[in-house]
Chain A
Amino acid sequence: MTPWDIADRPRRRVGRGLELHDEIPSTNDRARELLAEPDGEGRAVVAEVQTAGRGRRGRTWTSPGGVNLAVSVGLQPRLSTGDAWQLAAAAALAAWDACNRFAPVTLKWPNDVVADFDGAKVGGILIETTLDGERVAEAVIGIGLNLNWARRDMPAELAGATSLAELAGGPVDRGEVLDGLLDALDDEIVALEAGHTPRDRYRAACSTLGREVELETGEGRIHGRAVDIDERGELVLETSDGTVHVASGEIARLRTAVPA
């Protein structure tokens, strides 16, 4: 028996079997390896501890064993390069849906799951794709969620983070969260491959919209009011210099817009 057994059910595209590890360098790397193996596509790789877990641009993703959820799935999606961003929106919506069954959360652009009431981070998503011209050849979706990690036990560098248990007021069943996550992600990928964009639902779940944000783009900071997600997944900001569409960036500061 493992905490994850409840999630081991047949599905269409995502979560077609579980592969469990006590410790592994990276669930994303393993999910990518599985794409080269028979029936490896869609298998969910879950690890208690990652020794080389990745965050954005070389940041490490650390988590103690036994309290959180780190899962990756590799796919060869039927998706064009221009629609690759929809994978990020679909994965974010699946994580949002799975967490919302336990406590109110929203999405911070592009794909952080955050507490509804104070914006503290519950989890994040890292997707790695291989593009082959105009189509997405391979995609690995990695999702990390803080579940039963007490805030007081988190390291100092995670100030501003929280966990689903903190928001729910008590421990959550990690297997149930994984089960809900894989179901939701399976539904999202099936819909995506059938040509249904997650854009409208993503906009509805994204609490960044309507707020004043400071965005770190790597080429400097932009300040403006987030007003939309465009048809390419870019965040649309109204700035003092006009409308700006941002494909990549990290929100450095976010506050509720002052009513005009």
Chain B
Amino acid sequence: MADQDPVLRAIDLLTPAFEESGLDELEVEADDLKVRLARPRAAVAEAPALAPTVAAPEAAQPAPVAPDRLTPFGEPSPGMRFVSAPLTGVWYAAPSPGARAYVAEGDEIHDGQVVGLIEAMKLFNEIKADASGKVHRILVESGTLVKRKQPILEIDPR
């Protein structure tokens, strides 16, 4: 369970203070546990929001910690719902450079409609909306990295 994992517990405890601190990096070491929180640089392919990175001895970290478990994405506006990324990769709003975007803010979309592409390992994945409604906000800029479960669109469902 996530709340029993000492690494995750430490990150949960440290993240609010780190977010308010204005620091670029915070490293805390206690016993055999070492946690480092760092804001991503543009050149580093990490989450666009606060992205904790974890460094702990092998014995204390038997399995890699999935970054999407560590990155809070918040809640949609009241009455709205998110269309989220099903996998990590680069988000493309249009089928090719210069082409018209699949969807724009204000568009009515339907369940199953292709709303964009996510590329990982030269594998271009068409992403479909999982609900119908009006696109209220597009939350991700085309060409930027999105993490699995990160909201891409906020829609006003019907």
Given contacts A82-B87, A230-B64, is CB(A126)–CB(B36) below 8 Å?
no
Contact with A along B95-130 (1 / 0, CB 8 A): 011110000000000000010000111111111101
Across the interface, do B42 and A219 meet the contact criterion of CB distance under 8 Å?
yes
Q: Which listed residue, A82, A126, A231, A247, touches B124 by the CB 8 Å rule? A: A126
- B143 located at the interface, meaning its Cβ lies under 8 Å from any Cβ of chain A in the complex: yes
Q: Are B130 and A220 in contact (CB under 8 A)?
A: no
Q: Would A248 and B43 be within 8 Å (CB), given that A58-B97, A85-B120, A127-B123 are in contact?
A: no
Closest Cβ of chain A: how far from B151's Cβ, in Å? 16
Tell me which residues from 174 to 189 in chain A have a Cβ below 8 Å from any Cβ of chain B: none
A118 at the interface (CB under 8 A from B): no
Known: A85-B121, A218-B144. A247 touches B43 (CB 8 A): no
Nearest-Cβ distance from residue B66 to partner chain A, whole angstroms: 9
Interface SS majority for chain A: mixed
A88 touches B124 (CB 8 A): no
B89 / chain A contacts, CB cutoff of 8 Å: 247-248
Q: Are A242 and B53 in contact (CB under 8 A)?
A: yes
Q: Which chain A residues border B88 with CB–CB below 8 Å?
A: 232, 234, 247
Contact flag A88-B121 (CB < 8 Å), given A219-B43, A219-B144, A220-B43: yes
What is the interface size of chain B, counting residues whose CB is below 8 A from a CB of the partner?
38
Q: Is the CB of B124 within 8 A of A129?
A: yes
Chain A contacts with B in 93-137, Cβ cutoff 8 A: 109-111, 124-134
Known contacts A81-B86, A217-B90; 19 additional CB pairs below 8 A are A54-B96, A81-B125, A84-B120, A85-B120, A109-B121, A110-B122, A127-B123, A127-B124, A129-B123, A129-B124, A129-B125, A130-B126, A131-B126, A131-B127, A233-B121, A242-B36, A242-B53, A248-B121, A248-B145
Top 8 closest pairs, chain A to chain B, by CB: A220-B43, A110-B121, A58-B96, A88-B121, A248-B90, A247-B120, A127-B123, A58-B97
A-B contact pairs, 28 of them (CB 8 A): A58-B96, A82-B148, A109-B121, A111-B122, A126-B122, A128-B125, A129-B124, A130-B126, A131-B86, A131-B87, A131-B126, A217-B145, A218-B90, A219-B144, A220-B42, A220-B43, A220-B44, A231-B64, A234-B120, A241-B38, A242-B38, A242-B55, A245-B45, A245-B67, A247-B89, A247-B145, A248-B120, A248-B145
